[in-house]
Amino acid sequence: MKSKPTAPHSKLWRIPKLGNLELLRGKHLTQSFPQHTHERYAIGVIEQGALGFFYRGENVVAAPGNINLCIPGEVHTGHPAIEEGWTYRMFYFDTSILEQVAAEVADRPRQLPFSSLE
């Protein structure tokens, strides 16, 4: 007997003390997202299934264990790459957090964009 597929669902948390860091957990997602951008950095890891997306002129498939980075303002799409959809975890954060971490690592102020901490 086949088990019934789990219904898609997601949950979003916001952590004000960490610069309004947002955490997202999406399970068994099967929806598609048209072209869009994010105002913040978006980093995610695929846990199950596969996420397809168009980003920087390429069709890409993210499989389990893949880490994805989306830079603020860059246009991309999203869709299930397989019938079962995908499960992932994402976090979204402001550029100011990345600049602060880079400044602490480099021991001097850093502004984006940067390609190294030298």
- Of the candidates 26, 34, 27, 33, the one whose C-alpha atom is nearest the C-alpha of residue 91 is 26
Q: Classify residue 6: in a domain, yes or no.
A: no
Average pLDDT, the chain: 88
- pTM for the full predicted model: 0.78
Q: Classify residue 3: in a domain, yes or no.
A: no
d(CA 1, CA 59): 36
68: domain range?
12-106
Q: Classify residue 4: in a domain, yes or no.
A: no
pLDDT in tens, 7-59: 889 999 999 998 899 999 999 999 999 999 999 999 999 999 999 999 999 99
Q: Classify residue 114: in a domain, yes or no.
A: no
Q: Classify residue 46: in a domain, yes or no.
A: yes
CATH number, domain containing residue 78: 2.60.120.10
Q: What is the pLDDT of residue 117?
A: 45
Measured distance between the N- and C-terminal CA atoms of the chain, rounded to whole angstroms: 59
| Tokens representing residue 20 in the block | 């309004």
Number of domains in the chain: 1
